[in-house]
Amino acid sequence: MTRPVGKHLTHEEHAEIRRRLAAGEQPSRIASAVGCRVQSVWKIRRAILAGSAIAAQPVPPERPEEVPPADPVEVARLKTQMKALQGENKTLLDRARKAEDLRAGLFGLTETPPEPVAFRTPEGGNPSAETIVLFLSDLHWGERVSIEAMDGLNSYSLDIARARIGRYFQTVADLATKHWTGPPPARLILILGGDLVSGEIHAELAKTNEAKALPAVKDCASHLAEGIALLRRRLPCPIDIVSLAGNHGRSTLKPESKEAVETSYDTLVSDFLEMALRQRRDVSFYVPSSVDALFPVYGFRLLATHGDRIGSRGGQGFIGPAATAARGMKRIVADYSARSVHLDLILMGHFHTAMQLEEGFVNGCLPGPSEYSRDGRFRPAPARQLWLTIHPRRGVTTTRWINVGVPSEGALYAPPPPDRELRPRWRVPAVSVPAE
C-alpha cells in the first residue's frame, strides 16, 4: 500500500531500497514491496549511480515555491475581463434560447427532429396504357445540301432522306417495343407537320432540287407508307395520321391564305399515303381544312400547326428562333382562348430547331443545317424529330428527340473523340503594356 503524501522514508526503508537495487530488482517492484512511490526509488537509484551521499539521508520535504503577492491593478483588470466574458456568455445563451423559441413558435419546429414520414404506397391497380405522339415535319424531300458547301458539316439528298426516314421509323418501332415498359401503347398518333417536300418556292430551290415537286411527292409518300406499315407490323395498336400543310409545299409562288391546304403538295402526299394504306382498317387519316389541327388525347387538347402562320416572324437575333416561336405560341393561346378553347399543348415545326417552350414543342427537321442556315449563321442543329408519350392522368411523361443522321453524312453527326482535352492546348499570352 502506498504511504500518504508527505511522509518521508526511514533509514531502514532507505537501506532496504538500496539492497534491492543492488540485487537488480525493478524499481516498480521495489516501490510495491516497500510501500513508497516509484519516483522515490528512481531518485535513490540515480543518487547511487551518481555516487552522491543523498541516498543515505532521508529526502527533505520540498518547500512550496513562494508566490509573490499579486498586483492589485492586474487583479482588478482580470476581474473586469471575467465579468465581461460572463455577460457575453449570458447574452449568447439568451439568443440561443430565443432562437429555439422562434423555431418552436413560428415554424412549429421542435428541438428533436421528427420521425421520418413513411409515404403511403398507392393501392395496386392495372397500369394505364399511354399514347405515342410523333411529330414528323420539315422533310424537304427532294432538296440537295452540298457537303462541300457546308464545309463537311452536313449533306442531304434523296438517298440520304430515304436512309434517314428508314432510321426514324425503325427507331420508333424499337422504342415502342424493345425499350417500352408497362402495357403496350394504346394508340399512336403520327402528325405530318408540313414541308414534306422541298418545292419550288424559291428560284434557287427550283434550280438545285434533286427532284421536282411531283416526283418528290410520289417518292416521299411511298417511303412514308412503308414506314407506317413497319409500325403497324411491330405495334399492336391503331395508328392515327394527322396531316398539315406547310409553306414549302405550296403550289403558288407566294403564300396565300385562301385554299392554302387544298393547293399544297403536303396534302397530296397525305392523299397518296391514304390510298396506299386504304386496305388497313387500323390506320385512319385526319386532314383538316385549316392550317391547324386540334384533337384530344385523354382529354388533353393538343394543337398542331406547321409554324409559318402563327402571327410571329423574324427573331434571329441572339436568342434565335425561340423568341419568335414563344411569341407565336402565346398568340395561338390567346386566339383560341377568345373562342373559349383551352389548349394544353402546342406542337409546331418550321424553325428546324428542336426545343421545348412553355406552351409546347418546336420540332427539328430531316435535312439538318443547309446553305441557307449557314449564311444566316444559325447554330447548326442535327437532323432530329420529336417523340412524346402521353399518360391518361399525368399528361406528357416522355420526351425524346430521335436523331437520324450518321457520321458518313457529315461531321455534325460524328461523336466527340474520347480523348478530347478539356482545356485548350495553346494559350494566348495576355497583352501587356510595354514599360517606358
Residue 88 forms part of a structural domain: no
Residue 363 forms part of a structural domain: yes
Task: Tell me which residue of 408, 368, 366, 412 sits closest to 153, measured CA to CA.
Answer: 412
Residue 436 forms part of a structural domain: no
Contact between 143 and 367 (Cβ < 8 Å): yes
> Count of domains in the chain?
2
Residue 91 forms part of a structural domain: no
Residue 1 forms part of a structural domain: no
Residue 419 forms part of a structural domain: no
pLDDT (tens digit, 0 to 9) for every residue of the chain, 436 residues total? 556 655 678 888 888 888 888 888 888 888 888 888 888 888 888 888 776 544 445 555 666 666 677 778 888 888 889 989 998 888 888 887 777 666 665 555 555 566 776 767 666 667 789 999 999 999 999 999 999 999 999 999 999 999 999 999 999 999 999 999 999 999 999 999 999 999 999 989 999 999 999 999 999 999 999 999 999 999 999 999 999 999 999 988 888 999 999 999 999 999 999 999 998 889 999 999 999 999 999 999 999 999 999 988 765 556 788 999 999 999 999 999 999 999 999 999 999 999 999 999 999 999 999 999 999 888 999 999 999 999 999 999 999 999 999 999 999 999 888 776 666 665 656 665 565 5
Q: Residue 29 sits in which domain range?
A: 11-56
Structure-derived torsion over alpha carbons of residues 16, 21, 27, 28, reported in degrees to the nearest 10 = -60
Task: Tell me which residue of 346, 357, 239, 349 sits closest to 301, measured CA to CA.
Answer: 346
CA 303 to each of CA 69, 193, 294: distance values in angstroms, whole numbers, following the listed order: 96, 11, 5
> Which DSSP symbol is given to 67?
P
- Are 43 and 183 members of one domain? no
Q: Residue 246 and residue 195: Cα distance in Å, rounded? A: 5
Angle at 329 between CA 324 and CA 333, to 5 degrees: 150
Residue 309 forms part of a structural domain: yes
Q: Would you say the pTM of this structure is higher than 0.85?
A: no
The domain spanning residue 179 has which CATH number? 3.60.21.10
Q: Cell 413497319 maps to which residue?
A: 230
- Are 38 and 136 members of one domain? no
Task: Tell me which residue of 136, 133, 138 sits closest to 321, measured CA to CA.
Answer: 138
